[in-house]
Structure 1
Amino acid sequence: MGSRLNPYIAFDGNARQAMEFYHDILGGKLELGTFSDFGSSESPDPEKIMHATLSTADGFTVMAWDVPERVPFNPGTNVALYLGGDDAGLRSYFEKLSVGGTVAMPLKKQIWGDEAGTLVDQFGITWMFNITQQQP
């Protein structure tokens, strides 16, 4: 299998809702494991998510957890999830992820010739999109 790099998102108690939302949009297989499923007493709420993985048919993998109290939770703007390619389905993802969130940059043609846009979803996660356009 080799090595791979994928996002692992920290949430403050709403990882289940966020991952179910992403699953509804991106499809694929969603695996959710609570702290109690793993036999951990790290969280005062044993039903919080200790580890979640969403694996899609498009090859996307997103992981997440609900941070326990001992781990500082400081949401910020230093990380974004990037979806890029020439798939027209990316437009649909953009529209669906923006529901309940904020579009920071509408999806439109940019000076480099591709369509690009940025949004912050309802869970505070930044998503960046770049849809490659066919060159004449």
Structure 2
Amino acid sequence: MQVEAILAFGGHSEQALKFYTEALGAELIVMIRWKDSPDPVLRTVSSDPEKIMHASFRIGETTLMLTDGIDTLSQPDFKGITLNLGAKDDDEAKHLFAALSNGGQVQMPLAKTFWSSLSGMVVDRFGLSWMVNVSQA
């Protein structure tokens, strides 16, 4: 069994995907807009057929999915979830943290902790919470 997260961006999936591609080097695997659904019924579900019905993308070795959902006017509500990025070293952690902080809000600045040489928390511009930790060997 495999569990994969589906992130619902309430109409902002395309912008989020572009941001994660630039900030984290995300790689798009597949993207389907509502208008391109092979199911004619699903083509009419969204009020905006240009919005994303489903996309998969990879950050490092992790695959995530995203959607604009059906109600593209709603805002994402990511309460109760934080995605962790395991950086290979301090330089990568600083780079990733700075990229995610651009337009976001730092919750805990990068600092040395008892579990990592650098660890920090940030909520990105789309409201998604991230923790950046230098992976310990």
Q: Residue 25 in 1 paired to residue 16 in 2? A: no
Q: Which residue number corresponds to residue 6 of structure 1?
A: 4
State whether residues 29 and 54 of structure 1, in contact with CA within 8 Å, keep that contact through their aligned partners in structure 2: yes
- The count of residues paired between Structure 1 and Structure 2 equals 130
Greater mean deviation of Cα atoms: 72-81 or 100-109: 72-81
Separation (CA, whole Å) in 1 of partners of 2:93 and 2:132: 8
- Number of the residue aligned with 1:84: 86
Counterpart code for 1:99: N
Contact map agreement 2:110 2:121 (CA 8 A) in 1: yes
Q: How does 1:6-85 map to 2 (within 5 A)?
A: 6-30=4-28, 31-39=30-38, 40-56=43-59, 58-69=60-71, 75-85=77-87
1:120·1:127 contact (CA, 8 Å) conserved in 2?
A: yes
> What is the CA distance between 1:33 and its match in structure 2?
1.4
Aligned to 1:110: 113
Which blocks of at least 5 consecutive residues in structure 1 are unaligned? none
d(CA) in 2 for partners of 1:18, 1:113: 28
2-structure distance, mates of 1:26, 1:129: 12
Alignment RMSD, CA only?
2.3
Q: Counterpart of 1:128 in structure 2: which amino acid?
A: M
So what's the TM-score if we normalise by structure 2? 0.82
The structure with the largest helix share of the pair is 2
- The gaps in structure 2 that reach 5 residues or longer are none
Q: Structure 1 residue 127 and structure 2 residue 125: aligned? A: no
Shift of 1:66: 0.6
> Does the residue aligned with 1:83 lie in a helix, a strand or coil?
strand
Could you give the per-residue CA deviations for residues 38-58 of structure 1, whole angstroms, max 9, x where no partner exists? Answer: 1421101001110111124x2
For the Cα contact (< 8 Å) 2:116–2:134, is it kept in 1?
no
The residue type equivalent to 2:102 in the other structure is V
Q: What is the TM-score with the length of structure 1 in the denominator?
A: 0.82
Percent identity (aligned): 36
Deviation at 1:6, TM superposition (A): 2.9
- Which stretch of the first structure deviates more once superposed, 30-39 or 10-19? 30-39
SS of match in other structure, 2:16: helix
